[in-house]
Chains A and B, each alone.
Chain A
Amino acid sequence: MPGVTGEVEAAVAEAFRAEWGRVVAALIARTGDWDLAEECAQEAFASALRVWPRDGVPERPGAWLTTTARNRAVDRLRREAAGAAKLREVAALAPAGGSAPDPGELVEAAEEVPDERLRLIFTCCHPALSMEARVALTLRTLAGLTTAEIARAFLVGEAAMAKRLTRAKRKIRHAGIPYRVPPAHLLPARTPSVLAVVYLLFGEGYAATAGADLVRVGLSAEAIRLGRVLVRLMPDEPEAAGLLALMVLHDARRVARVGASGEVVPLEEQDRSRWDAELIAEGLETLEGELRRGRAGPYQVQAAIAACHARAAVAEETDWRQIAALYGELVRLVPSPVVALNRAVAVGMADGPEAGLALVGALEGALPEYHLLPATRADLLRRAGRRGEAADAYREALALVTVDAERRYLQRRLREVEAALG
């Protein structure tokens, strides 16, 4: 019966996405051994693929997997004399020993095993690790991507990625990076690193175009999954919810933002019927709950900006005044020239292109070699009807742009203003 096999495979795949990080996190908490945890989790999923088609999908797949992985760890540690102390810890993960989990044990195990993923992600994102290492470790241990997949997603060789992961795990062990959620006084300094890793993953996947590797495109789905876990595990952190809202509101526009020939479709020209209404509803709901707390941070403000776009059924209904005000707030929270450039776009829409151009003018020199500076100036000049200057600015942007989809957009605009010039 191929249908049944397919169903079981789908159940294992779903359990993998939902449970991998939990299983690994629980085993690291008990053994302190990252490699052992990964290997035993791997074996537990492999045995699910063998056993579930025969015995059926267990009622609580997560508990089954944790218990199976735990038993693998117990077996392995028994073989090593040095494993005695770890063995006692692992044994405590479930009430009884034995090699095959029995149903009664599983229910108890699920209730007893606490969710350790927050400890895992804070450790993966410790600022004593390089950003590349944080990203790779998070994908490996929390999302369960293989080393080969992570290497492909970041366009590096598999051997180099394996080395990066090994080095990071070695540093955690030998430098004494604690496996914990930081104490309250360290949280304000450490939480941004966790959120930044998740947002970087989302951005990498979101920037990948239709033709790109599927693993790379899948990074944004992994980031959203991690975002949902963070919101559940850090209910008092409004920026976690802000980040989730920001990601889903952007992801809702994913399909509509790339045209038939792979070019970027600007927001104002997107077919809004292709936006994902379900994701927009989730984003708006997540965001509104947080804003009521009155502890705004950069992710919530960016999500609020995305929400303004999401609420407009047609581009003309966009509340640019509100967006310009939100960018003003964002510039205050994150004083960067890139944010200031985005504010100039919004002000250009709210108060007219000349007002936007004045703000862009103040940024000249602050963003050398950044194609979006001349591209923004070009769009504002075009709106102001100053076509000759707009054409020059589009040419300036084309000389700097590196992403094909954006190059095609700029070329199209240049052709349009040149045609209008006659």
Chain B
Amino acid sequence: MQYMLLICGDESAAAHANDGCGGWSEEMLERGVLRGGGGLRPADEATTVRVRDEEVLLTDGPFAETREQIGGFCLIECADLDEALEVAAKHPAAGYGTIEVRPMLVPPPGVT
């Protein structure tokens, strides 16, 4: 199964933006778990896009004004949720931020 790890944190987490992953990425690539991912620039540099009544609406800032914002993401491939949780708990960001583990949508057969 594929899971997305959404790495969230408040403003203080920005201090860790250039820390790297302390060997986590290498370990997970080696295990064959990590499929991709990356870090994000701060949420205040985001632009939100919506289309309503054929009009493109742009908003300066993230889609939700919450204290914690997504700072990075990783796509992983695991046997089940237990493995995904173990992989997430090993990520250094789990020590100062929050990691949301979301199962990827499996498209129904025939949809590509």
Which residues of A line the B interface, CB within 8 A? 126, 128, 174-178, 182, 186
Q: Which residue of B lies closest to A190 (CB)?
A: B82
Chain B 84-96 interface mask (CB, 8 Å, partner A; 1/0):
1100000000000
Q: Verify B85–A128 contact, CB threshold 8 A.
A: yes
A128, B102: Cα distance in complex, Å: 12
B10 at the interface (CB under 8 A from A): no
Q: Which of B3, B78, B80 contacts A177 (CB 8 A)?
A: B80
User: How close is A317's CB to chain B, nearest CB, in angstroms?
Assistant: 50
A178, B1: Cα distance in complex, Å: 11
B81 at the interface (CB under 8 A from A): yes
Contacts of B81 in A (CB 8 A): 126, 128, 175-178
Q: Verify B82–A175 contact, CB threshold 8 A.
A: no
B103 at the interface (CB under 8 A from A): yes
User: How close is A184's CB to chain B, nearest CB, in angstroms?
Assistant: 13
CB neighbors of A among B1-49 (8 A): 1, 3
Contacts of B3 in A (CB 8 A): 176
Number of B residues, CB within 8 Å of A: 11
Q: Verify B103–A178 contact, CB threshold 8 A.
A: no
Contacts of A126 in B (CB 8 A): 81
A to B CB contacts below 8 Å, 20 in the list: A126-B81, A128-B81, A128-B85, A175-B81, A175-B101, A175-B103, A176-B1, A176-B78, A176-B79, A176-B80, A176-B81, A176-B103, A177-B81, A177-B82, A178-B79, A178-B80, A178-B81, A178-B82, A182-B82, A186-B82
Q: Which residue of A lies closest to B78 (CB)?
A: A176
Residue from B79, B82, B84, B101 with most neighbouring chain A CB atoms (10 Å): B82
A186, B83: Cα distance in complex, Å: 11
Contacts of B82 in A (CB 8 A): 177-178, 182, 186
Besides A176-B3, A177-B80, A186-B82, 9 more A-B contacts (Cβ < 8 Å) are: A128-B81, A128-B85, A175-B101, A175-B103, A176-B84, A176-B103, A177-B82, A178-B80, A178-B82
A174, B103: Cα distance in complex, Å: 7
A177, B80: Cα distance in complex, Å: 6
User: How close is B44's CB to chain A, nearest CB, in angstroms?
Assistant: 32
A262, B82: Cα distance in complex, Å: 47
Contacts of B78 in A (CB 8 A): 176
Contacts of B1 in A (CB 8 A): 176
User: How close is B94's CB to chain A, nearest CB, in angstroms?
Assistant: 15
Closest 8 CB pairs of A and B: A178-B80, A176-B1, A176-B80, A176-B81, A175-B103, A177-B81, A175-B81, A174-B103
Contacts of A176 in B (CB 8 A): 1, 3, 78-81, 84, 103
CB neighbors of A among B68-112 (8 A): 78-82, 84-85, 101, 103
A126, B3: Cα distance in complex, Å: 18
User: How close is A172's CB to chain B, nearest CB, in angstroms?
Assistant: 9
Contacts of B80 in A (CB 8 A): 176-178
A126, B80: Cα distance in complex, Å: 13
A186, B80: Cα distance in complex, Å: 14
A175, B82: Cα distance in complex, Å: 10
Contacts of A178 in B (CB 8 A): 79-82
Q: Which residue of A lies closest to B2 (CB)?
A: A176
A182, B82: Cα distance in complex, Å: 9
Contacts of A175 in B (CB 8 A): 81, 101, 103
User: How close is A134's CB to chain B, nearest CB, in angstroms?
Assistant: 15
A332, B79: Cα distance in complex, Å: 38
Q: Which residue of A lies closest to B102 (CB)?
A: A175
A178, B86: Cα distance in complex, Å: 13
A182, B83: Cα distance in complex, Å: 11
Contacts of B85 in A (CB 8 A): 128
A182, B86: Cα distance in complex, Å: 13
Contacts of B84 in A (CB 8 A): 176
A175, B83: Cα distance in complex, Å: 11
Q: Which residue of B lies closest to A172 (CB)?
A: B81
Residue from A128, A174, A175, A186 with most neighbouring chain B CB atoms (10 Å): A175
